[in-house]
Amino acid sequence: MSDLPEPGYDSAIAGPPPRIHSSKSGFKETLAQGWEFVRFVWKMSSRIRSPKNRLRFVIGLILWKPILPKE
Amino acid sequence: MYCDPYQFDFVKTLEANWLSVRQELSQLRDCDFLTYPEKYLLDGKTGWDIYGIYFLGVRIDLNCEQCPETARLVQAIPGIITAGFSRLAAGAHIVPHSGKPVGVLRCHMGLDVPEKCGLRVGSEIKPWQAGKCLVFDDTSEHEAWNLSDRHRDVMLLDFCVPAGTQARDYYSTAPKAAESLESAASSLT
């Protein structure tokens, strides 16, 4: 999470805050990202009753959202 | 690019019922939300949680039962793809990114919006307002931040643009202005 800016910072006028953390991710982080994705799919699909819809959800998610980021 | 939200009929209905939606949101526990998995979109890799009502056209049954009024409103939206609550934690910053071109527009309706929050789409920055919708093209570069000391909640919707049209047909400023100038010029000649 970003550090909170100094009091008095008005986001609507000043625009977005600067990026603080590096965008680079190593192999471990990439792997962790993939695992997070699997956990997300599992948890969300467990809230769907019909097995057919669950399958649709999983396939849709795989086709629409790649597991690993492109950057 | 932002779009004029009132081009879409469902926006008025949503805004008219925003208090019911917020009421259902307020009954949810933190553990009902899921951490959004694309953590690389977050500066600091944390702070974005979601609660799905519809996801990629699939109804999330148990969540719809927990929020029946919200589910009813969502089901009535033509071309609905994804709907749910999006929670941005205090201090969280979703870094600039663009969605994939899939012919959908995104709508955010503010539900619980502290100060020092904003959404940049292209070069335009807007704050969310409780009970008001913002509609934008997710394929334009955008970023969001919450620099307050509490979370920000919005209702997030992805919906298909009507058949035979494209997302850019709904942009609110430059293209329409250019179009009206063009038609004014042609009527003079």
Domain ranges of chain A: 24-71
Architecture per CATH, domain B2-188, reads as Sandwich (2.60)
HSE-CB for B157 with a 13 A CA cutoff:
26
Least confident of B91-100, B103-112, B130-139, B177-186: B177-186
A32 bridge partner residues: none
Q: What is the pLDDT of residue A11?
A: 52
Average pLDDT, chain A: 74
- More confidently predicted of B178 and A18: A18
Q: What is the pLDDT of residue B181?
A: 42
Q: How far apart are CA B125 and CA B159, in angstroms?
A: 22
Q: Which of B174, B146, B187 is nearest to B48 (CA)?
A: B146
B101 Cβ under 8 Å from any chain A Cβ? no
pLDDT confidence bin for A70, thresholds 50/70/90: very low
Q: Is the pLDDT reported for residue A41 higher than 70?
A: yes
Q: What is the pLDDT of residue B56?
A: 85
What is the widest separation between alpha-carbon atoms in chain A? Answer: 52
Q: Is the pLDDT reported for residue A5 higher than 60?
A: no
A-chain residues near B38 (CB < 8 A) = 33, 37, 65, 69
Contact A64, A34 (CB under 8 A): no
Collapsed DSSP state (helix, strand, coil) of residue B63: helix
For tokens 């033509």, name the residue.
B78
Q: How far apart are CA B81 and CA B60, in angstroms?
A: 12
- More confidently predicted of B171 and B132: B132
pLDDT confidence bin for A30, thresholds 50/70/90: confident
Q: Cα B99 to chain center, whole Å?
A: 13
Q: How far apart are CA B109 and CA A16, in angstroms?
A: 20
- More confidently predicted of A70 and B41: B41
CB contact residues (below 8 A), chain B span 150-189, against chain A:
none
Q: What is the pLDDT of residue A71?
A: 36
Q: What is the mean pLDDT of residues B145-168?
A: 90
Q: How far apart are CA B67 and CA B27, in angstroms?
A: 9
Instruction: Please state the three-class secondary structure of A7-39 as a single string.
Output: CCCCHHHHCCCCCCCCCCCCHHHHHHHHHHHHH
Beta strand B93-97 pairing with B80-88: unpaired
For tokens 């038609």, name the residue.
B183
Q: What is the pLDDT of residue A68?
A: 34
Q: What is the mean pLDDT of residues B102-108?
A: 88
Average pLDDT, chain B: 89
- Indicate if ipTM > 0.85: no
The pLDDT tens digits of the residues spanning B43-69 come to 877 899 999 999 988 999 999 999 999
Domain extents in chain B = 2-188
Q: How far apart are CA B77 and CA B83, in angstroms?
A: 10
HSE-CB for B14 with a 13 A CA cutoff:
29
The reply to whether residue B125 touches residue A23, judged by beta carbons under 8 angstroms, is: no
Q: What is the mean pLDDT of residues A27-51?
A: 90
The pLDDT tens digits of the residues spanning B117-156 come to 999 999 999 999 999 999 999 899 999 999 999 999 999 9
Collapsed DSSP state (helix, strand, coil) of residue B168: helix
Tell me which of B43, B65, B102 to substitute to probe the interface with A (most A C-beta atoms closer than 10 Å): B43
Q: Mind giving me the DSSP string for B14-34?
A: HHHTHHHHHHHHHT--GGGSE
